[in-house]
Every structure is written in C-alpha cells, then in structure tokens.
C-alpha cells in the first residue's frame, strides 16, 4: 500500500523501538495517519470532514456510554430517567445536550463528506470500495440515529417509532407479521424500547469497525484530490503529518465552536418541542416529523400519493425512500465518465448544483405542512432526484465533453488552480520553469 | 446493462411520482374554505425575560414571584413532578423556608406501609418532588415541569395563553358559527384549537407578592412564565456561563491552530 516514496518508520525512542519489534502498532499508525502516509498536496477544506466525522463518532460514543449509565430503557420510567439525567446527574445536561446535538453534527458533517465525494468523483475507480463502505456507514448511522431518538420516550419518539416501523407493514402479505416481530408487540412498547436501546448501543461499534475498513480501503490507493488527477510523483504529495494534522486541527476548532454554540446556547433548536411531552399512545401529535436529517427522505416517502399500477401509494413511497438511498451503491457504475472532478465536467456540475437545490427543497417539504403546494413541490423534487441519478447521470457521463485536465497535481497547484476555486479552464501551455 | 436497468427503475419511480403529481394537480381547483383555527389562531406575543438570549440568566426575584403564582394558583390542578422542594434553594429560598414550604404544601406525600399494606399520607420534606396532582374534573391539566420546552416559544406561550382569554366577537361568531365555544370550554386564540378547558386562572390582585410588587394579571402571567422557564431548565444560567468559557477557550485554541496550519504550510504551495 501507499507510494514508493512514503517514509518508513524508524523509532528513535528505545521504548517505541521495543514495542514496534514485538507489535508493529506504532508502525501502523505512522503509516496510516502519520508522516508515513503521503497525501495529495492540494486537498481543500472539504477534505477535513472525514476526520470531523470520526471525531463526532468518538464524541457520541463517549457521551453515550456515560448516558447509558443513568438511563433506564423501560416505558414507565424512560422519560423520567432522562429528566433525572438533566437535573440530578452532575453535568448530565451537558452530556445529554452534547449527545443529542452531536447526532446532528455527525449527520451534518457526513452529508458534507458525501457531497464532497459526489462533486470530486471520489466514488470512481479505483476507490469504489471506499464509497460502498461509506454508504454502509451512512445506513448504519441512520438506523442508529432513529433508534436513539426513540429512547427518551417522548411523543415524537413514540410516534416516530410507530411511523418508521409502519414502513414494513407496506410489504404485501408478510408486512404486518414482520412489523409485529420487529416491535415485539402490536405497537411500540417496552419490548421495542429495550431492543432499540440494545441495538443503539451496539451499532456505533459496528460503525467504528466499518470505518476501519473504509480507511483501509482509502489507503490502498490514497486520497482523491480536487483535480481528480492521480498522484504521479513525490512532489504531488505531502506527508499527512504534520501537514494535514495541522490543517485538520484548525477544522476541528471550527467544528467544536459550532458544536458548542448549539450545546450551550441553542440546545433544543434542532429538536422538536413535542418530545418533551411523555409518550402517549392515545394522543397523536398534530404533525409527526422526523429529525432534520431525515426530512429529504421523508419528503420522498410522502410524495407517492397515487396507487399507480394498482401498487398501493404507501408501498411506492417506502420503495422509493429506500431506493433513494440504495441507489448510491450503484453510483460508481452509473457514472461512467473517466473524469473524476466536477471542476472539469461543465454539464455534470450544473446537474449536481440542481441536485443540491433539489435535496434542500425536499428537506423543506419533508418538514412543512402537507398542503397542496408543498405536496406538488415535493413530487417535482422527488422526480428530479431519481431522474438525476438513474437517467441524467448515465447519459451525461457518456456524452459530456470534459475540459482538459492538468497533467499533474503539482502543475495545477503551480498554475494557481487550488482546490476550491477553478472556474477557469486549464490552459494547455507549458509551465514556466520554477 | 447497468444503464438499461437504471433507466427502467428510474423511469418506474419517475412515472409513479408524476402520476401522483397529476393526481394532486387535478384536485387543486377545489376552493378550500378557511377554518376558524386558521383565521383566529394567534402566535404568542413577544415576552421579555431575563433568561432570554445567549447571555440570559434568571431574575431570581421574579422567579420567586412566579413560584408564588404556581403555589397559590396553578398547583391546584397542575403537577410539577420533575422538580423537588430542595430545588427551591437554587432560586434563593433558605433551608428553613424550603422546609416550611414543603411541610405546609397542601397535597401530602403518599406513603405505603409495606408490612400492613396500609396507604397513608405524611407532610412533604425538602427531598420530595412536588406531589402529583390527580385531576378528576373535565380536561387534562398537563404537568408543568417541562411546559416551556414542550411548546413552541414556551415562555411566551404561557404568558400569552394566561392573558389571552376573551369572548368571541359577534363578527367572528357569524363568520364561523360551527366554531362556537362548547360548554365547559373557554375561547383563547393562543390555544391551538381555540377552546381550552382551563378557566381563566388569574384575576387582578388575587395574589399578594411577598416582595410587594403590584399584583396584576399581566404581572402574574409574566412571573409564572419566568418561574416555569427555571422549572424546565434549572441549568440555564450555568449553561450560558460555562458556554462562554468554553467558547473563549475554543476561540483561542482555534486561532492557535490556524497559526500552526499557516506556519507548517508556509513554504508549500497548495
């Protein structure tokens, strides 16, 4: 793995030398996230978000483990045990607000991370496996976030669980038995709450395991970069440490500033007031809405309101919602363009821009009241979402004429084509001698 | 091959959603009449409280007045189950005062003798939570411990609701005859379905404040909103204070990190 010019680990400290000869863990770390990992020199700030996602997961695991020491997964006292954490546990409010807002921060960072991959073509050969594992992580995160939201056993927890597990009842014939089996009852209750807690504790460690595979797969071919041109020689790269550890340090600072603003000053902004009302199976909230990070998918679900081809609208909605995520698995083969970076793909980047707006519209519709105007807006946006990935992308990638690529990363850097800027086509002329 | 399959699946979903789109477009024309709720419901009025904003902290005198309102009026029907008597120390009552408030509390703590199975009562102690109120009458008075977090614009909602009672005007009754307030309910435009089972709880001068503040309905409503913010978020002031320190630390650390980044990359064009 890695490039021939990667530095080799030579321990100076006798203790490290002793350890390294018996268990080459220092060597592994040195080559993975130390000076032994050469990284393209032109990565822009969007490449900070992988590290930030890892940091968010670590924060969630630490706060979550402590919260689990005080939480009781029982329908009769779950809500009260959360209030006990908020009021009686030392700095329990800090732990819980950090955990609740940490989930939002994690998802936000991961969405930007995914968007980075889409724009710069990081999913393309030879990095398909990095992308596939990333989609697996995303699915696991969604499951974990959903089950975590159920645990406080407020109104939105209960009714959210009711709605989400209700998806399974859309499956013909076996749907209802599956739903009852998943819940351990006819409606969400102790059985469901307990298994959600158990799985909510398990899945983050599964995520951590898949992240190890994700990083392993990444290190086989090294990071992509804003030009999408592969590394050619040593001057295209810098050692990860100290260059990107320093750059990530600043990114971490900005991330923590935003995180702390939510935790200390607006801890309930991203939540829903109804979840401070204890779960009541006899009283349905006026509007059941998921957390913000699920809203685009919720909008897709709600857009199918017509029994097309005698298939019930609900089944269409559920298929489309799952399909909208699962199609990401096929992205490396839907996009056949040999050029990775959208900087050099004038047509694709326009459609990618429309997709960004489209997902924002879906997010708005997902949280808005289902009046006719919003439903229609959601249906148009849903149509574009599927059209983008399954129709437009395969056609554009086959017909588009990309702009000329730079010969190397270094050439692009010396021409001042840094990662984030770059509207100008790269002029095809010889470089002045440095 | 991949492309053929993706076209089939893609067009499948697109045609299904476009069919749904036509169905929604064709049902558009129908005139929808504005309901009484849409026309008459009002969002809460702005409420100035010391606890508002990024630097908000509690005005303890106001919170204490609000506690008096809860004690003398609200507590007849509404529980405050997540708050303990001992917590009143944090809004400025002395240990002796808390003891007295607890033991004088009208609703007693419930006891169960596990030997005989006899149920009984005893006076509350500072360690007890406020006893649960069981309300047999019409309506369902919600627990107030979290009310300002459980409603949009919580404190403003409490204040507007308490001061928002009025009768429907003749014009409104004529326009929405079906929205006539049912017997046993009271019209209040700040309540989501306009008709609330709670009778107007506050009246001018019904409470005598210990600190001598003039007792009006407006003042009572403001004070109890301030108290309920404290009841829901007793950590609010401490949270803001710690938040300031954390932000200060992070700002310095981030500036240093930026310096380190610039320093390390200074000779590397990127």
Considering A236, A274, A291, A335, which one is annotated as catalytic? A291
Average pLDDT in the B244-256 region? 98
- Spatial separation of the C-alpha atoms in residues B153 and A238, rounded to whole Å: 51
pLDDT for the residue A420: 44
Could you tell me if residue B6 is inside a domain? no
- Spatial separation of the C-alpha atoms in residues A402 and A220, rounded to whole Å: 27
> Encoding tokens for residue A209?
């395991």
Is pLDDT above 80 for A218?
A: yes
pLDDT for the residue A417: 66
Is pLDDT above 60 for A364?
A: yes
Share of residues in chain B with pLDDT > 70 (%): 99
Min Cα separation A250/chain B (Å): 5
Is pLDDT above 50 for A426?
A: no
Contact A264 B260 (CB under 8 A): no
Min Cα separation B215/chain A (Å): 31
Beta strands in A260-386 (DSSP E): none
Return the residue of B nearest to A420 by Cα: B270
- ipTM surpasses 0.90: yes
* Contacts (Cβ under 8 Å, ≥6 apart) of A123: A117, A130, A131, A331, A332, A335
Contact A386 B240 (CB under 8 A): no
pLDDT, tens digit, for every residue of A174-198?
999 999 999 999 999 999 999 999 9
pLDDT tier at B209, thresholds 50, 70, 90:
very high
Is pLDDT above 80 for A416?
A: no
Is pLDDT above 70 for A429?
A: no
* Radius of gyration over every alpha carbon of chain B, rounded to an integer in angstroms: 28
Residue A211, SS3 per DSSP: helix
Is pLDDT above 90 for A431?
A: no
* Contacts (Cβ under 8 Å, ≥6 apart) of B254: A250, A253, A254, A256, A257
Could you tell me if residue B258 is inside a domain? no
pLDDT, tens digit, for every residue of B105-122?
999 999 999 999 999 999
pLDDT for the residue A423: 42
Instruction: For residue A242, say if its preceding peptide bond is cis, omega within 30 degrees of 0.
Output: yes
Could you tell me if residue B118 is inside a domain? no
Query: Do strands A237-239 and B109-112 pair parallel, antiparallel, or not at all (unpaired)?
Result: unpaired
Could you tell me if residue B164 is inside a domain? yes
The CATH code of the domain that includes B42 is 1.10.760.10
CB count within 10 Å of CB A291 equals 22
Better-predicted residue by pLDDT, A75 or B36: A75
Q: What is the pTM of this model?
A: 0.93
Query: Rounded mean pLDDT of chain B?
Result: 93
pLDDT for the residue A316: 95
pLDDT, tens digit, for every residue of A93-118?
999 999 999 999 999 999 999 999 99
Considering A70, A84, A219, A415, which one is annotated as catalytic? A219
pLDDT, tens digit, for every residue of A260-308?
999 999 999 999 999 999 999 999 998 899 999 999 999 999 999 989 8
Residues of chain B by 3-state class (helix, strand, coil), percent to 5? 50, 5, 45
Concatenated DSSP letters for A180-209?
HHHHTSSSS-HHHHHHHHHHHHHHHHHHHH
- Spatial separation of the C-alpha atoms in residues A183 and B211, rounded to whole Å: 55
Could you tell me if residue B125 is inside a domain? no
pLDDT, tens digit, for every residue of B128-147?
999 999 988 877 899 999 99
The residue segments making up the domain with residue B186 are 36-56+141-239
Min Cα separation B205/chain A (Å): 32
pLDDT for the residue B193: 87
Domain annotation for chain A: domains and CATH numbers:
46-269+285-409 (1.20.810.10)
The answer to whether A223 is a known catalytic residue is yes
Could you tell me if residue B235 is inside a domain? yes
CB A265 within 8 Å of CB B251: no
- Spatial separation of the C-alpha atoms in residues B233 and A86, rounded to whole Å: 9
Query: Do strands B186-187 and B195-196 pair parallel, antiparallel, or not at all (unpaired)?
Result: antiparallel
HSE (side-chain half, CA atoms, 13 Å) at A345: 27
pLDDT, tens digit, for every residue of A226-237?
999 999 999 999
Q: Which residue in the block uniquely carries the two structure tokens 């033991």?
A: B103
A-chain residues near B194 (CB < 8 A)? none
Could you tell me if residue B224 is inside a domain? yes
- Spatial separation of the C-alpha atoms in residues B101 and B125, rounded to whole Å: 9
Concatenated DSSP letters for A396-417?
HHHH--PPPPPSSHHHHHHTT-
Share of residues in chain A with pLDDT > 90 (%): 89
B-chain residues near A382 (CB < 8 A)? 13, 17
Is pLDDT above 50 for A432?
A: no
Q: Domain count of chain B? A: 1
Return the residue of A nearest to B231 by Cα: A87
Q: Which residue in the block uniquely carries the two structure tokens 């809860």?
A: B70
- Spatial separation of the C-alpha atoms in residues B262 and A192, rounded to whole Å: 52
Going by C-alpha positions, the residue among A69, A63, A97 that lies closest to residue A81 is: A69
- Spatial separation of the C-alpha atoms in residues A124 and A402, rounded to whole Å: 16
Q: Which residue in the block uniquely carries the two structure tokens 């700002």?
A: B251
Beta strands in A194-347 (DSSP E): 237-239
Contact B265 A320 (CB under 8 A): no
Cα maximum dimension of chain A: 77
Distance set, CA B130 to CA A4, B75, B93, B123 (Å): 71, 9, 16, 11
Considering A31, A104, A157, A223, which one is annotated as catalytic? A223
Could you tell me if residue B210 is inside a domain? yes
CB B257 within 8 Å of CB A246: yes
Residue A173, SS3 per DSSP: coil
- Spatial separation of the C-alpha atoms in residues B98 and B86, rounded to whole Å: 7
């Amino acid at each position: 793995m890695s490039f021939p010019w990667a530095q080799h680990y030579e321990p100076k400290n006798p203790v490290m030398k002793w350890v390294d000869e018996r268990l080459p863990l220092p060597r592994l770390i040195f080559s993975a996230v130390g000076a032994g990992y050469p990284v393209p020199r032109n990565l822009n700030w969007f490449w900070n978000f992988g590290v930030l996602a890892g940091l968010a997961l670590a924060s969630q695991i630490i706060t979550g483990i402590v919260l689990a020491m005080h939480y009781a997964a029982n329908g009769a006292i779950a809500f009260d045990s959360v209030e006990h954490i908020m009021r009686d546990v030392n700095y329990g409010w800090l732990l819980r607000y950090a955990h609740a807002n940490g989930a939002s921060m994690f998802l936000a960072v991961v969405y930007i991370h995914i968007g980075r991959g889409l724009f710069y073509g990081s999913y393309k050969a030879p990095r398909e496996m990095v992308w596939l594992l990333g989609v697996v992580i995303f699915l696991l995160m969604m499951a974990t976030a959903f089950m975590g939201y159920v645990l406080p056993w407020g109104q939105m927890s209960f009714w959210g669980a009711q709605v989400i597990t209700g998806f399974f009842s859309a499956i013909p014939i076996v749907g209802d038995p599956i739903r009852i089996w998943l819940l351990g009852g006819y409606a969400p209750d102790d059985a469901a709450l307990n298994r959600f807690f158990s799985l909510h504790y398990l899945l983050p460690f599964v995520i951590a395991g898949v992240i190890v595979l994700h990083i392993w797969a990444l290190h086989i071919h090294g990071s992509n970069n804003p030009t999408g041109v592969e590394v050619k020689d040593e001057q295209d790269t810098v050692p990860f440490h100290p260059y990107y550890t320093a750059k990530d340090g600043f990114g971490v600072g900005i991330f923590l500033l935003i995180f702390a603003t939510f935790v200390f000053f607006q801890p309930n902004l991203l939540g829903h007031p109804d979840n401070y009302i204890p779960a009541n199976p006899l009283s349905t909230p006026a509007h059941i809405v998921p957390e913000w990070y699920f809203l685009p998918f919720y909008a897709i679900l709600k857009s199918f309101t017509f029994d097309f081809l005698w298939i019930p609208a609900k089944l269409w909605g559920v298929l489309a919602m799952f399909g909208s995520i699962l199609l990401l698995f096929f992205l490396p083969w839907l996009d056949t363009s040999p050029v990775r970076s959208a900087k050099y793909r004038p047509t694709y980047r326009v459609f990618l821009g429309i997709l960004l707006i489209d997902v924002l519209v879906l997010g708005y519709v997902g949280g808005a009241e289902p009046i006719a105007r919003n439903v229609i807006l959601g249906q148009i946006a849903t149509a574009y979402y599927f059209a983008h990935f399954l129709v437009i992308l395969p056609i554009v990638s086959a017909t588009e004429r990309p702009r000329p690529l730079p010969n190397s990363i270094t050439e692009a850097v010396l021409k001042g084509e840094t990662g984030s800027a770059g509207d100008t086509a790269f002029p095809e002329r010889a470089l002045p001698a440095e | 091959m991949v492309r053929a399959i993706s076209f089939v699946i893609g067009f499948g979903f697109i045609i299904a959603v476009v069919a749904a789109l036509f169905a929604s477009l064709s049902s558009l024309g129908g005139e929808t009449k504005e309901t009484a709720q849409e026309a008459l419901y009002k969002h809460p009025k702005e409420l100035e409280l010391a606890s508002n904003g990024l630097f908000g902290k509690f005005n303890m005198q106001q919170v204490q007045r609000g506690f008096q309102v809860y004690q003398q009026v609200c507590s007849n029907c509404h529980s405050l189950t997540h708050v303990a008597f001992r917590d009143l120390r944090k809004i400025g009552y002395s240990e002796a005062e808390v003891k007295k408030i607890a033991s004088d509390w009208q609703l007693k703590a419930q006891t169960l003798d596990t030997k005989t199975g006899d149920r009984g009562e005893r006076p509350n102690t500072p360690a007890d939570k406020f006893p649960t109120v069981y309300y047999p009458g019409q309506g369902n008075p919600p627990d107030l411990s979290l009310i300002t977090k459980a409603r949009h614009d919580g404190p403003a909602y409490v204040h507007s609701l308490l001061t928002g009672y009025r009768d429907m005007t003749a014009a409104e009754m004529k326009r929405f005859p079906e929205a006539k307030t049912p017997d046993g309910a009271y019209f209040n435009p700040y309540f989501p379905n306009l008709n609330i089972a709670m009778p107007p709880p506050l009246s001018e001068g019904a409470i005598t404040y210990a600190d001598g503040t003039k007792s009006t309905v407006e003042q009572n409503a403001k004070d109890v909103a301030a108290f309920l913010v404290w009841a829901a978020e007793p950590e609010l002031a401490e949270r803001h204070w710690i938040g300031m320190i954390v932000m200060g630390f992070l700002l310095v650390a981030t500036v240093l990190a930026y310096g380190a980044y610039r320093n390390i990359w200074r000779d590397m064009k990127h």
